[in-house]
Amino acid sequence: MASFITAGGKAAGPIGQGTWYLGETPAAFADERKALQAGIEAGMTLIDTAEMYGDGAAEELVGSAIHGFDREQLYLVSKVYPFNAGRRNIFRSCENSLRRMRTDYLDLYLLHWRGSVPFAETVECMEELKAKGRIRAWGVSNLDTRDMQQLLAVPGGAGCVTDQVLYHLGSRGIEFDLLPWLQQRDIPVMAYCPLAQAGRLRRGLFAHPAVQDIAFARNATPAQVLLAFLLARPGVMPIPRTGHAYHTMENAAAADLKLTAAELAALDAAFPAPKRKVPLDIQ
């Protein structure tokens, strides 16, 4: 199964760092910066962001956080708005992201979701950005199976290296057809919101007896159990987001938690995958 590898040859994973909603509150900036830096030091060298997040504020946070680190050991990912993903705007969008992130190139540039710009035009532009050295790879986000089939059918579409989608124990819709389809083609999945975003669903996951029992038995936290569930899936990289360094370290430690077949079966029974096609979750 394909994996994310930096240009320097160091594996960027198995867990990355998300930045959705980070960088938007000045009072929290220092703590969020420390959280990202703690993750880098713990081996979570892939950092995912987007021009949409805080209207560029998350990218600026990333640019501040990576200062002083060896750029070749990092794997920086950003995303372009769908309405900027054509020849008219994509090159300016990419340059703006690079400027905010204080870097000369992106390791990976993603189409944030499908819009009105034809896939063929976006792919052509992505390949031009690669040729210019502004990005090293490109991929997509929030594309379902039919979208992916159409993408790979256009010239150059097979250059897509990932599909980033929402995926966690309580939202397993991609397992019906999208995840197997991607796995068959060695296209990794970046799982955003792997701990669920917030609210009742997140509380229901963390407090569920099946999760709690495994966490207690393995001297782990519920968050680590949820991440370990995704890590047991081939070709899946969770990218949890946190603004606190102690949670970053908790997330990083999940890489060492290998769930048993019995534990995975218990989680599967508690939160079964759908047996029919369902729309992609996005929040």
- Per-residue pLDDT tens for 200-222? 888 999 999 999 999 999 999 99
For the stretch 57-95, pLDDT in tens is 999 999 999 999 999 999 999 999 999 999 999 999 999
Q: What is the pLDDT of residue 198?
A: 77
For the stretch 219-275, pLDDT in tens is 999 999 999 999 999 999 999 999 999 999 999 999 999 999 999 999 999 999 999
User: Is residue 237 in a domain?
Assistant: yes
User: Is residue 279 in a domain?
Assistant: no
| Two tokens, residue 110 | 């993603």
Positions annotated as catalytic residues are 53
| Two tokens, residue 51 | 């021009």
- Per the structure, the complete domain to which residue 60 belongs is given by 26-270
Which CATH number characterizes residue 34's domain?
A: 3.20.20.100
Residue with tokens 């701990």: 195
For the stretch 124-174, pLDDT in tens is 999 999 999 999 999 999 999 999 999 999 999 999 999 999 999 999 999
Cis bond upstream, residue 14 (ω within 30) = yes
Q: What is the pLDDT of residue 215?
A: 98
User: Is residue 157 in a domain?
Assistant: yes
Mean pLDDT of 92-109: 98
Which residues, other chains included, contact 78 with Cβ-Cβ below 8 Å and sequence gap of 6+?
A: 48, 49, 50, 51, 59, 97, 101, 106, 108, 109, 110
- Examine the pLDDT at 1 and tell me if it is beyond 50: no
Tally of domains within the chain: 1
Crossing angle (nearest 10°) for helices 222-231 and 261-270: 100
Cα distances (angstroms) measured from residue 269 to each of 37, 169, 210, 228: 37, 11, 9, 16
User: Is residue 114 in a domain?
Assistant: yes
DSSP H helices, the chain, are 29-41, 57-65, 90-101, 119-131, 145-153, 178-184, 199-207, 209-217, 222-231, 245-253, 261-270
